[in-house]
Chain A
Amino acid sequence: MGSELYRDISRKLDKYENFLELIFAGLLVISFVMVVIAIITDLLNFSNTAKFYSSRAVVVFMASFLSLKLLGDAFNLSVINFTERKRMRTIFTIAMVGTMTNILVNTRLSENIFGSITGISTYALFLILTGTGFFIVDRYGFSDL
C-alpha cells in the first residue's frame, strides 16, 4: 500500500519533471538559433573588415562551430532522456567536443612553452579518457541498455 503510494507520487513528480525538461530543451533550441545568428553576423562583419584572414578569427570560428555541436548534443540529451537511449554515449560526445573547444580556445603556443605543452597535454589526456569512455559505450553497445 505504502510503496504504491510512493510510486504514484514519484510518477506524478516525474511528469512535472518531464514538462520542465521540455522547457529546458526549448531553451537549448533558442541558444542554438542565437549562436547561428551570431556566427552569421560576425562572418559578415569579418568579411567587411578583412579580419577574416586572421588565424585567431578562424580558431574562434571553429570553436563556435564546436559550441554549436555541443548545444546540439545537449538538446539530443534532453530529448533522449525521454526514451532513455544512448544517454551515456551523448555525455561522452559532449565531453570530447567540450575538451576540443577548450583546446581551441584556451591553449595557444606562447613564450611559456612549458605552460603551453602542459595545457595541451592536460586536454589531450582528458580527450583520450573521454574517447575511451565513448569507445566502451559504443563498442559494447551499452548505449542500447
Chain B
Amino acid sequence: MTEDSESKETYEKLTKDVSRSRHGLEATLAKKMERIMDYLQLVVVFILVILFGIAVFDLGVELYRLIITGQFYDPISLIGILETALLLFLIVEVFRTSVAHLEGLKVLPLVVDVAIIGIVRSIITFRLSDFQSMNEAVLASLAYAIILSVLIASFFIVHRQQRKAPEKHYRKGDD
C-alpha cells in the first residue's frame, strides 16, 4: 500500500517536472522567436526608410519631367503627382505602424488611417475611361464606395473608443 502511494507520488512529481520543463522550453523558444521577429521587423522599418527615399527621388524625377515637357498646366498630370505624394504618405504611415508595433503600442488606429489614405489615393485617381465598359466602372466605383464607407465607420468607432479609454499610442517625436 505504501509502495503504491510512493510510486504514485513519484509519478506525479515526474509528470510535474516534465510539464514544467516543457513549459519552460516553450517559453524560452517563444521569447527567442519573438526577438527574431523584432529584428526582422526592424529590417522592414529600415527598408521602408529606403523605400521612402526612393519614392522622394521618383517624385523629384516626375516633377523634373513635367517641367521639361511643359505638362505642368495639365490638371491630370498634377493629380498624378498627388498620387505619388499620397503613396509617400502611405509609406510614412506604414513606417509609423511598424515602429508602433515594435514598441508594443496600439496600432489599430494607425492601420485604419493607412487604409483610408490608400482608398483616397485610389479614389482621386479613379477615371471612368480606364475601364473597358461602363458596367465595370460602376462595379469598381461601388466597391470603392463600400470599402470607404466601412473604413469611415471603423475610423469613427476606433477613434471614439480611443477617446473613451485613452491608451498610449505612437506619437512621432516622443521620447
A interface residues, Cβ below 8 angstroms from B: 2-3, 6-7, 9-10, 13-14, 16-17, 20-21, 23-24, 27-28, 30-31, 34-35, 37-39, 41-42, 60, 63-64, 66-67, 70-71, 74, 77-78, 81-82, 84, 87-88, 91-92, 94-95, 98-99, 101-102, 104-107, 114-115, 118-119, 122, 125-126, 129-130, 132-133, 136-137, 140, 142, 145
Q: How far is the CA of A78 from the CA of B81 in the complex (A)?
A: 14
* Majority DSSP secondary structure for residues of B touching A: helix
Residue in contact with B92 in the complex, picked from A3, A7, A10, A81, CB distance below 8 Å: A81
B interface residues, Cβ below 8 angstroms from A: 35, 38, 42, 45-46, 49, 52-53, 56, 59-60, 63, 66-67, 70, 72-73, 75-76, 78-79, 81-82, 85-86, 88-89, 92, 95, 98-99, 102-104, 113, 116-117, 120, 123-124, 126-129, 134, 137-138, 141, 144-145, 148-149, 152, 155-156, 159-160, 162-163, 171-173
State whether A125 touches B73 (Cβ < 8 A). no
State whether A39 touches B73 (Cβ < 8 A). yes
* Nearest CB of chain B from residue A79's CB, rounded to whole Å: 12
* Nearest CB of chain B from residue A67's CB, rounded to whole Å: 4
* Majority DSSP secondary structure for residues of A touching B: helix
- Tally of contacts, chain A with chain B, CB under 8 A: 184
Q: List 14 A-B contacts (CB under 8 A).
A: A2-B35, A6-B42, A14-B99, A16-B49, A24-B88, A31-B78, A38-B73, A91-B120, A94-B86, A122-B126, A129-B149, A133-B152, A133-B155, A136-B156
Residues of chain B within 8 A (CB-CB) of A88 are: 113, 116, 155
State whether A101 touches B75 (Cβ < 8 A). yes
* Nearest CB of chain A from residue B174's CB, rounded to whole Å: 9
Residue in contact with B144 in the complex, picked from A66, A70, A115, A126, CB distance below 8 Å: A126
State whether B67 touches A91 (Cβ < 8 A). no
Residue in contact with A129 in the complex, picked from B52, B138, B145, B163, CB distance below 8 Å: B145
